[in-house]
């Protein structure tokens, strides 16, 4: 089979790496890809939002299966464009990807189907939002309705901060049309867990749990980012949490979407918060998490392409997902200044030192090949270094040792990824 992967980050690198292990796959393409992906796939210079060009390419090259890694093309309807042309593609159609594309939609869905989530209100009019803030409790959470690279969520400690937030989201349109509507939500406290799942429209099978570290700096300081590091499994995702979510969250979400005439085929990412009042859904995404995928997929025993095909063909119920009985930790190496502004084009040293046989992996996020043929930085998140070991503390130690082998100007990383694991050992 020939497979095309759409996207260019660490998530697409790990998807390509896992796809390369499939017995069914003979050739991998990635659009647009990055320098690391280019070592295992042929990168194609088409952006993820050029749906017709991507479909032309898939037709011309007789691609058997396209896998979409990123949220923007899914929310924009890439799957509908491919399906119209009878091209096989994995991901939700536009009417189901709205689960991630509109926070107002997903909150209303949860309310309608009694899926536990934080209390909220949706606002279209900034003046009404301002009025609501007068009588609210603080802290409070403001969320741009649409996609905003994970940066459209503002946690406001005071009324003044929240007023500024409403102004920047809805009036100054800091995230463009994503701020046409906003969700104002009750602030919750608790530990976060990410759960990824495969869905075939009816059946849902969940993967091993993970935990992300979203803030830029140690001790959860600094701005929200796409994710600075992950570990899997999460020891906080206990049997009780799993049972609760199976009963009230996972199948309930899939059934709700089907009932609304929006059957979901693809990956649903459940962002959960374990609060003292119970488990709540923080958010849904319609794709693999990045960098959650970099710790979950290396632990998955199944052939990814077999599972993906079972989802598309509606026979996921026949698949048993299996994960290794071990642990993985991923530390992201970012460019100084991320997530605000940063330089690109710095040479990366030490990439050759990685030996996958030792269960350490380097997944490229923002890299490219310079004119001189060197691998250089090309984004805010540059690399994700994943290590696997028998236990989380060992995987953590191994990942932190491994990141010392690579270097580039302005490299920065959090030093406390997975530190919470040590507290419970
Ligand atoms: P989201 O994109 O909705 O997951 O929000 C990004 C991050 O903001 C989450 O991972 C949480 O850390 C935080 N967050 C979102 N909603 C809430 C909430 N209601 N209470 C506390 N923190 C939140
Ligand atoms: N790591 C969080 C996300 O992919 O949205």
What average pLDDT does the segment 216-236 reach?
A: 94
Tens digits of residue pLDDT in 85-117: 999 999 999 999 999 999 999 999 999 999 999
155 within 8 A of 187, measured Cβ to Cβ: yes
**Amino acid 224: pLDDT:** 86
Q: What residue's CA is closest to ligand 1, atom 3?
A: 283
Measured in Å, residue 399 CA sits from the centre of ligand 1 at 27
List the structure tokens of 194.
């990410």
- Ligand number nearest CA of 69 is 2
What average pLDDT does the segment 295-300 reach?
A: 98
**Amino acid 27: pLDDT:** 98
Q: Where are the beta strands (DSSP E) in 145-259?
A: 153-156, 182-186, 191-200, 204-206, 211-212, 215-217, 221-224, 229-232
Measured in Å, residue 43 CA sits from the centre of ligand 1 at 34
State whether the Cα torsion 194-307-69-367 is positive or negative.
positive
**Amino acid 408: pLDDT:** 98
- Ligand number nearest CA of 224 is 1
- pLDDT higher than 70, residue 342: yes
Those residues whose C-beta lies under 8 Å from the C-beta of residue 4, and which sit 6 or more positions away, are: 28, 29, 30, 31, 44, 54, 57, 58, 61, 63, 65, 66, 67
Measured in Å, residue 38 CA sits from the centre of ligand 2 at 23
- Could you tell me how far CA 11 lies from the centroid of its own chain? 8
Portion of the chain with pLDDT greater than 90, in percent: 93
List the structure tokens of 273.
């918060």
Q: How far apart are CA 122 and CA 125, in angstroms?
A: 9
Please name which of 237, 271, 229 lies closest in space to residue 386, comparing C-alpha atoms. 229
Tens digits of residue pLDDT in 150-206: 778 999 999 999 999 999 999 999 899 988 999 999 999 999 999 999 999 999 999
User: Residue 263, Cβ neighbours under 10 Å: how many?
Assistant: 18
**Amino acid 420: pLDDT:** 86
Residue 71 CB–ligand 2 contact under 6 Å: no
Measured in Å, residue 360 CA sits from the centre of ligand 2 at 21
**Amino acid 164: pLDDT:** 96
What average pLDDT does the segment 385-403 reach?
A: 96
Residue 285 CB–ligand 2 contact under 6 Å: yes
Average pLDDT, the chain: 96
Q: How far apart are CA 254 and CA 201, in angstroms?
A: 7
Q: What residue's CA is closest to ligand 2, atom 2?
A: 289
**Amino acid 425: pLDDT:** 55
210 within 8 A of 296, measured Cβ to Cβ: yes
Q: Taking each helix axis as running N to C, give the angle between helix 94-101 and helix 251-259, from 0 to 180 degrees, rounded to the nearest 10.
A: 130
List the structure tokens of 161.
């901060």
Tens digits of residue pLDDT in 46-95: 999 999 999 999 999 999 999 999 999 999 999 999 999 999 999 999 99
- pLDDT higher than 70, residue 311: yes
Q: What residue's CA is closest to ligand 1, atom 4?
A: 283
What average pLDDT does the segment 335-356 reach?
A: 91
Q: How far is CA 194 from CA 144, 235, 292, 361, in A?
A: 21, 12, 8, 21
Portion of the chain with pLDDT greater than 70, in percent: 99
Q: How far is CA 185 from CA 138, 165, 179, in A?
A: 10, 13, 15
């Amino acid at each position: 089979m020939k497979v095309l992967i759409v996207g260019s980050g660490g998530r697409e690198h790990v998807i390509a790496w896992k796809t390369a292990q499939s017995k069914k796959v003979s050739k991998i393409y990635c659009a647009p890809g990055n320098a690391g992906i280019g070592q295992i796939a042929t990168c194609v210079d088409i952006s993820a939002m050029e749906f017709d060009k991507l479909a032309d390419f898939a037709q011309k090259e007789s691609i058997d299966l396209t896998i979409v890694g990123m949220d923007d093309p899914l929310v924009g309807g890439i799957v509908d464009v491919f399906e119209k042309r009878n091209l096989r593609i994995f991901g939700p159609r536009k009417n189901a990807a709205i689960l991630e594309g509109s926070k107002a939609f997903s909150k209303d869905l949860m309310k309608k189907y009694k899926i536990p989530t934080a209390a909220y209100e949706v606002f279209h009019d900034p003046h009404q939002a301002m009025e609501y803030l007068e009588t609210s409790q603080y802290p409070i959470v403001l969320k741009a309705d649409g996609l905003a690279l994970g940066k459209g969520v503002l946690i406001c400690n005071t009324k003044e901060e929240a007023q500024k937030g409403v102004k920047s989201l809805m009036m100054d349109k800091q995230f463009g049309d994503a701020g046409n509507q906003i969700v104002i939500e009750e602030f919750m406290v608790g530990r976060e867990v990410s759960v990824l799942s495969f869905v075939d429209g009816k059946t849902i099978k969940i993967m091993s749990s993970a935990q992300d570290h979203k803030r830029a700096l140690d001790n959860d300081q600094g701005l929200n980012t796409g994710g600075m590091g992950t570990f899997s499994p999460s020891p906080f995702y206990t049997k009780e949490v799993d049972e609760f979510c199976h009963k009230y969250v996972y199948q309930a979400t899939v059934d709700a979407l089907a009932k609304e005439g929006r059957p979901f085929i693809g990956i649903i990412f459940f962002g959960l918060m374990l609060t003292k009042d119970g488990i709540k859904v923080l958010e849904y995404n319609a794709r693999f998490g990045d960098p959650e995928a970099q710790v979950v997929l290396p632990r998955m025993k199944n052939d990814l392409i077999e599972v993906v095909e079972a989802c598309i063909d509606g026979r996921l119920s026949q698949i048993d997902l299996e994960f290794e009985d071990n642990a993985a930790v991923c530390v992201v190496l970012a460019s100084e200044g991320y997530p605000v502004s940063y330089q690109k084009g710095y040479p990366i040293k030490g990439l050759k030192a990685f030996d996958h046989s030792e269960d350490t992996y380097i997944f490229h996020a923002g890299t490219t090949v310079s004119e001189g043929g060197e691998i250089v930085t090309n984004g805010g998140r540059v690399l994700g270094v994943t290590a696997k070991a028998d236990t989380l503390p060992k995987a953590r130690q191994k990942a932190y040792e491994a990141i010392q082998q690579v270097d580039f100007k302005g490299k920065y990383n959090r030093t406390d990824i997975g530190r919470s694991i040590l507290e419970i050992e």
